[in-house]
Structure formats: C-alpha cells, structure tokens
Amino acid sequence: MKNASRRSAAVYALPALAGLALLPFLDFRANRIVSGEGVMLWAPEGGSLLGAATLATLILGTVLIGAQLGRFVAALAALALLLWLAGQGAATLSAEAPEFARISLGGGFWIAAAFAALAAADAVARLSLGALVRIVALALPALGFGLALRGGLFDDLSILREYAANRDVFDAALGGHMRLVLGSLIPALLIGLPLGWLCFSSRRARTVVLPVLNLLQTTPSIAMFGLLMVPLGALSRAVPALRDWGVGGIGAAPAIVALALYALLPIVANTYAGLVGVPETMRDAGRGMGMSRARLLARVELPLAAPVILTGIRIVVVQNIGLAAVAALIGGGGFGTLVFRGMGQAAMDLVLLGTLPIVALAILASLMFDAIIETTRRGGAR
C-alpha cells in the first residue's frame, strides 16, 4: 500500500520536474501579439537558482515523505512556491521592460502546477477524509490564493493585465455564466425529476422518454443552438411580448433551452435509476403500514434514491458549466465571450482568462455536490 502510494506520487513528481527542466517557466513577449522568448525556472529573472532548488526539493518531498498529510502539505507548498516565483519573476521582468511587454506563464509552469495539484488531490483522497473536511482542506489554500491575487502578487502576469483591461467584460461574463447554468438547471429539474418518476412508474413512458433524451444528448451542441434558433426566432416574432423577456433566435434564451435539454438525460436517467434501486421490501413495508403513495415517495423512495439523483444533478451542473462556454457563439454571454474574443485576437491570455474560471467553477461545483451526496448517504448505506 505504502509502495503503491509512493509510486503514484512519483508519477506526479517526475513529469513536474521534467516540465520545469525542459520547458520555459515564463514567456516574455515585447507586445501582446508577437511570439515570445522563454525564461527558464533557474534564470535570475525566472525563479532564481535558490527558488528552483527549493521547488525541486518540495516536489521530491511528495515522493520521499511517508505520511500522506506530509505529502499533501509538500504538494501544496510546491504549488504556492510555483505561484509566488511566477509572480516575482513577472514583476522582475516587467520592471525592465517596455509598457506593452507581456509576461505569461510558460509550459513548465503549467505542467508543474497541474501535476502538483494532482499530487495534492491524490494525497487528500488517500487521507480518506469526510467531504466537509476535504472542502476545508482545499478552501484554505484557495483562500490563500485569493488573498495573494487581491494583494497584487500576480499583477504583472499578462492574464491579470487582460483582466485589468477587460474587467467589466469579465464581471458580465461571470454573471452571464451563472445565469446560463442556474437558468438551465432549474427548468431541467422541474421537468426532469417528474419525468424520471414517470419513467419509473410507467413502462410505456420509459420506452419513449429515454431514447428521445439519448438522441438529444448526442446532438452536437453547436447544431443544437442552430436548431433552436429557428423555432425560438419564430416564437419571438409571433409573440412580441416575449422579446422583452429576452426570448429570441439568438442570445441567452436558446442557450438556456439547449443547456436544459442536455441536462434532462442525466437527471431523468438518474432519477429513474435511483427509484428503481430502492428495494421492493421498502415499498412493501411502507404500503403495508398504511403510507399513502405520495408519503411513500416523499419519505422513503426519494430519500433512498437521493444519492443517485444528486449524482445525476452533479453531472449536469459540471457538464453545463463547461457547455455554457459555447453559448457565446450565439450571443448567450458567459465566459465563452472571453474565450472566443481571445481566439479572434490570437490572445491566448484572454482565452485563459475565460477558461480558468470555468475550470474553477466546475471543480467548486463537484466538490460541493460530493459533500451533499455524502451527507445524504449517512445512515442510508447498508
């Protein structure tokens, strides 16, 4: 067991070290568009020799330390040092550079950061903490990162330069993204949960509903937006009052409808599977003691099916946080706006500014749902 966890720690540590050794840590460009020159970690304006040696020691520590808690701390410390060195390096570089110069994070940084994060996640998983403790264990470093961000540690990195230049677009994108995700989740739940119950109680409904939803799920998202433009456009022309609500062929409405449609299959399928998984003896006991059908559903069947249903909702939320990026193509807003604008301007930092919050939101959502699912399992597991 100990050797197995050491082997997996090595699987994270070696690519991290190799990435730092072979790829630039930072990327220096004279302006936003031109291609840059790499700055290696050990260069004086990169991380300096001392910083590089300390970082390598911490990364090796994730393999050599026996205790999982020690591994977790070493991986987190490596991650923190990576970020700090990047911030410091960017400050050093920009002090001597013209105003339009851009300093972005290099391949070495990204690979090392990704594998250090994986090593930390792996150590946390092996600690087998409860979901709530796990959230706290990850919230504290996240809080530290947030404070460093606020304090201006990373202000000289190009991604934050992009943020500073696009602050109102970013804030609008955050609001738009949340609106897309929640706006599609709520109708999907209102339709999906009863539909899942219907599939469970009627064989005929099941043979119709599930194949249709499967078909919907396999429709490519861009095609779905295109397909929805026609009926929603027609609808807003026929009922002009709807236009005031933002319903039209383009904009947030078709995006929300499409995301809600994609959300239906996991919700319906998991509601159905969760209810089917409730043992027949539970229904027999409940009915035999004189529970009405509604009470049986509310007090016995739904609570016992909750972990499976919530797993479906978790899939939907994480999936739609990602899918919502595509909504920008039809003017639906969200972080996709930044991504597509960045692609249009060949500004990778702007693309990253749109992508990183999407990843962060997805991780946040899945951690939150894991905690909720775990609490619903309490006492329910046999």
Interface positions with other proteins (CB under 8 A): 281-282, 284-292, 295, 300, 303-304, 379-382
Q: Nearer to other proteins by C-beta: 139 or 276?
A: 276
* Shortest separation between residue 290's beta carbon and other proteins, angstroms: 4
* Shortest separation between residue 304's beta carbon and other proteins, angstroms: 6
In whole angstroms, give the CA distance from residue 52 to residue 21: 10
* Shortest separation between residue 288's beta carbon and other proteins, angstroms: 4
In whole angstroms, give the CA distance from residue 348 to residue 114: 18
In whole angstroms, give the CA distance from residue 357 to residue 170: 10
Distance of alpha carbon 220 from the chain centroid: 20
Nearest to 201 by CA among 285, 310, 297: 297
* Shortest separation between residue 306's beta carbon and other proteins, angstroms: 9
Q: Decide if 32 contacts 78 (C-beta within 8 A).
A: no
Cα dist from 326 to 203, 259, 354, whole Å: 36, 10, 12
Q: Nearer to other proteins by C-beta: 237 or 295?
A: 295
Other C-beta atoms lying within 10 Å of the C-beta of residue 190: 11
* Shortest separation between residue 285's beta carbon and other proteins, angstroms: 4
Q: Nearer to other proteins by C-beta: 7 or 287?
A: 287
* Shortest separation between residue 376's beta carbon and other proteins, angstroms: 9
Q: Nearer to other proteins by C-beta: 152 or 380?
A: 380
* Shortest separation between residue 205's beta carbon and other proteins, angstroms: 24
Classified as helix, coil or strand, 188 is: helix
In whole angstroms, give the CA distance from residue 154 to residue 91: 8
* Sheet arrangement for strand 102-105: 37-39, 26-29, 102-105
The tokens describing 258, both together, are 């499409």
Cβ neighbours for 135, distance < 8 A, ≥ 6 positions apart: 367, 368, 371
Q: Nearer to other proteins by C-beta: 111 or 308?
A: 308
* Shortest separation between residue 280's beta carbon and other proteins, angstroms: 9
* Shortest separation between residue 134's beta carbon and other proteins, angstroms: 23
Q: Nearer to other proteins by C-beta: 195 or 373?
A: 373
Q: Decide if 296 contacts 275 (C-beta within 8 A).
A: no
Classified as helix, coil or strand, 335 is: coil
Q: Which helix (H) or strand (E) holds 81?
A: helix 68-95
Q: How far apart are the first and last CA of the chain?
A: 27
Q: Nearer to other proteins by C-beta: 199 or 305?
A: 305
Q: Nearer to other proteins by C-beta: 127 or 291?
A: 291
Site of tokens 């070493």: 74
Site of tokens 């295109």: 226
Cα dist from 113 to 12, 19, 299, whole Å: 10, 10, 46
Q: Nearer to other proteins by C-beta: 241 or 294?
A: 294
